Amino acid sequence: MSTVTARTSDVRTAVRPPAATVVPRQRRPRADDHLPLGSLTQREHRAAGECVSCGSTRLTRLTMNLTDGGSVDFVSCHHCEFRRWEEAGVDVPVAEVLTRTAKR
């Protein structure tokens, strides 16, 4: 690798050209990548469901993969701000979600 000498206020500094950029490999599509995503703006594409606290149908639902290999859904109500985590329809305490997402 060659270096270039730059002179800045009577101090010589060796400047190396930037290292080559490594482009990561593209991930392969998983079998469940074809699942349709919900929509916050298009009612016909929203997943059905009601808030367990107030009964509103204005929910945000995000599915997250945890570091332990499992997946949970985070559900938040736009009307009453009630939030919960669930796995296969069963409530999961926040403490358990945090434990399962800890780096190992």
- Confidence class of residue 15 from pLDDT cuts 50, 70 and 90? low
Where are the strands (E) in 16-96, listed by range?
59-65, 71-77, 83-87, 90-92
Residue 5 CB neighbour total at 10 angstroms: 8
**Average pLDDT of 46-71?**
86
Query: Taking 90 as the threshold, does the pLDDT of residue 46 lie above it?
Result: no
**Average pLDDT of 2-29?**
62
Nearest to 87 by CA among 77, 97, 95: 97
Query: Taking 80 as the threshold, does the pLDDT of residue 59 lie above it?
Result: yes
Domains in the chain: how many in total? 1
Query: Taking 80 as the threshold, does the pLDDT of residue 28 lie above it?
Result: no
**Average pLDDT of 83-95?**
92
Q: Greater confidence, 69 or 25?
A: 69
Query: Taking 90 as the threshold, does the pLDDT of residue 96 lie above it?
Result: yes
Pairing of strands 59-65, 4-8: unpaired
| 87 domain-assigned | yes
The residue type found at 104 is R
Contact of 47 with 38, CB cutoff 8 Å = yes
Residue 77: both structure tokens together = 């109500």
Q: Domain span at residue 76? A: 43-104
| 36 domain-assigned | no
Cα-based distances in Å from 58 to 40, 42, 85, 87: 9, 12, 16, 20
| 99 domain-assigned | yes
Q: How many Å separate Cα 21 from the centre of its chain? A: 25
